[in-house]
Copies of this chain bind each other. A is one copy, B any other.
Amino acid sequence: MRTVLGDNQYGKAETRIVRVDRGDTHAITDLNVTTTLAGDLAATHETGDNSGVLPTDSQKNAVFAFARDGIGEIEDFGLRLARHFVDGAPTIHRARVQIEQYTWQRMSVQGQPAHHSFARAAGTRTTSVTYDGTNSWVVSGIGDLTVMNTTDSEFHGYHRDRFTTLPETHDRILATAVTARWRHAEPSGDWAAVHEAAREHLLEAFADTYSYSLQQTLNAMGERVLRNCPELVEVRLSLPNKHHFLVDLSPFDLDNPGEVFFAADRPYGLIEGTVLAEDAPDAGLAWW
């Protein structure tokens, strides 16, 4: 059988970089950076000729060196890196830079903001930037954010087959760990402001949507972001349904009026969906 090389890519995953800005008060930027390159890489696969391969070690070094002059918004940092890789290495035709930014809060000491002390908070800000030598695409988002509504969630009227035993419910806990990614119309903008707005609208939509299904909540979250952030054209959401089962306390002669729940690990529902602006431009390589 004759074989051919298909799609391939390579890079350096999870370079953990922390930058300290030493102004009047210190500030920190704490990132997990993954760089991925593709292009004319047949030679290294077929014969081990590495002349077209920029080592992953060099990619890591670039991440550190580029941080020397400041990181700024992660989207801009990603764009600078992606352009460096494609424009600098003749065989590399496409680069993706994925960044997770950890959230840190300035600590307080006796009611005053600390000068140089920080505590990790929940939630990450993310970006995935792609550049092909001509065009750039920016997808931003959030991760590691677990949220819960203790009411205003129902689930009934579903399709039943012979394996359906789930009782209908008119009041349940709805909990999920949000992973959201939103596509920017343009590879430039006020990244921080859009991020803040998108995050806020996403979470508010989760909180104030009266829900008949997690899909409905997902759709409301995506719509709310797009309607309020004209810079964005697409939102993709992955929402595990973190089941909380009402515990049957009747064997102990106790009722349980929606108060005591078992938080289950596995299995879990997994709801994934996309909401787009009606006039969203083609996604190109945004989701590569």
Query: Contact residues of A with B, CB < 8 Å?
Result: 1-22, 26, 28, 30, 34, 36, 41, 44-62, 64-65, 67-68, 88-89, 91, 104, 107, 109-110, 114, 116-122, 145-152, 154-166, 173, 203-204, 206-208, 211-216, 218-219, 222-223, 226-227, 230, 234, 240-241, 244, 247, 249, 251-252, 254, 256-279
Q: How many copies of this protein are present in the complex?
A: 4
Residues of B within 8 A of A274 (CB): 5-8
Indicate which residue in B58, B109, B155, B158 contacts A166 across the interface (CB closer than 8 Å).
B58
CB contact under 8 A between A3 and B278, given known A12-B268, A53-B159, A107-B147: yes
Indicate which residue in B58, B159, B258 contacts A91 across the interface (CB closer than 8 Å).
B159
CB atoms of A150 and B267 under 8 A apart: no
CB atoms of A227 and B10 under 8 A apart: no
Indicate which residue in B14, B260, B279 contacts A67 across the interface (CB closer than 8 Å).
B260
CB contact under 8 A between A278 and B219, given known A19-B259, A114-B207, A150-B28: no
Shortest distance from the beta carbon of A160 to any chain B beta carbon, whole Å: 8
Shortest distance from the beta carbon of A124 to any chain B beta carbon, whole Å: 12
CB contact under 8 A between A18 and B116, given known A109-B204, A252-B162: no
